[in-house]
Amino acid sequence: MSNTNSRFPTIRKLCLAKDAYNHCEENDTLFKEAMIENYKYQLEQQPFFKYLAEKSGFSIDQIVDYKDVFNIPPLFVGTMKMNRFCNVPDEEIALTLTSSGTGGQKTQLNLDKESLDNLEKLAVSSFVDLGYADETPAHYIVLGYSRDKSSQIGTSWSDEQVMQYAPQKSTHWQIHWNDETQRFDFDYHETANLLISLAEDAPIRLIGFPAFMHQVVEEVVRIKPNLRVHPKSFIIAGGGWKNHNGTPMTHSDFAQYVETSIGLPAENVRDNYGMAEHGVPYSSCSAGHHHVPIYGRLQVVDPLTMKGKPLGEEGLLKLLTPYNTTQPNLAVLSTDLVTLGDNCPCGVKGPYIASIRRGGKVKHKGCAIAAQEILNAAQK
């Protein structure tokens, strides 16, 4: 679908734009115009969104310069866990993704056909332009929920999407649904032996939760301490850097542990940050920083005043993107506490996430928390 055939041609043009990290004036202007196009539509479709604007004293006419988009009143993530805010009938929804692996409050990200295609297009550019792609066929070991029983879990969909950046020589989903216990199970010993059996044949691509990866690598070292994987092996993780006991680790510590243990190059240990309420992937580079592509924008705000904070200062994360017209998630306020940086030493220009902390008094039971419960059961 070209942007000329779209109901939202400016949004489409942005999502089809190449050079995903080129934060130039032209792309900033395109982002602003795409946000205006989406915002107009949401004001027509969603009474609550219109109420937010009126309560905040904000008008679409106030979006004149690029920086004005950061003043759009956001939806709070907790509100999105209680309301669908869907603009189209169910038969027009091409994909629904949820944020939770087992129970807990669930966000539903609803995407019609065009919004889904927008997301897929921008995601490909975001990953490829950070060096995730390679032409060498690889064995994929996916430490995520098997797709046959988790088609609507956001992390499972994301895992499947990042499996297109190297040809699949074989694919192995390792968190399986147990009909008897009615829950997902994981066997780290079996997975470690699988990795050992495939390691000498081709590159390994480990996808999924870092805590599971840590447990598997530890078991590989116990079984075959001198194992070294193919130098083109790659990790694409999501869910926060932790060891298998749930203890936080830095990206750098995790990458060095993997390189020392099985020879997988530290610069090939990558991570994705994102949330179902927003959808845009913020992928890490070889230096471990999550970069902001031109399809989304991030702002750190003071939790009391909601005013933007400068680079290097911590605050609540506000996320903006126009790609999805199915729901009014073009501006979302999270409970995560972050700091932003600029011009990463990896060479990629533009803003990046320098640090992330989970905030809030109540911990939302998302996919990673549910995964840790599975891992705890596996250890027992």
Indicate the residue type of 297.
Answer: R
Note the pLDDT of residue 176. Answer: 82
Q: Which two tokens stand for residue 262?
A: 């099985």
Note the pLDDT of residue 359. Answer: 64
Q: Which two tokens stand for residue 155?
A: 């992390």
Note the pLDDT of residue 130. Answer: 94
Least Cα distance to 368 among 187, 281, 246 occurs for 246
pLDDT per position as a tens digit, 302-348: 999 999 999 999 999 999 999 999 999 999 999 999 999 998 999 99
User: Domains in the chain, start-ordered, CATH in brackets?
Assistant: 125-274+364-379 (3.40.50)
The model's pTM? 0.87
Q: How far is residue 320's CA from residue 101's CA, in Å, rounded to a whole number?
A: 25
The segments of the chain whose pLDDT lies below 70 read 1-4, 99-106, 146-156, 239-247, 359-380
Note the pLDDT of residue 46. Answer: 92
Q: Which two tokens stand for residue 288?
A: 């471990």
Note the pLDDT of residue 99. Answer: 65
Burial level of 34, CB count in 10 A (0-12/13-18/19+)? Answer: buried
Note the pLDDT of residue 376. Answer: 52
pLDDT per position as a tens digit, 12-62: 999 999 999 999 999 999 999 999 999 999 999 999 989 999 999 999 999
Least Cα distance to 367 among 54, 81, 65, 155 occurs for 155
Q: Which two tokens stand for residue 340?
A: 């932003």
Backbone angles phi, psi at 59, to 5 degrees: -125, 145
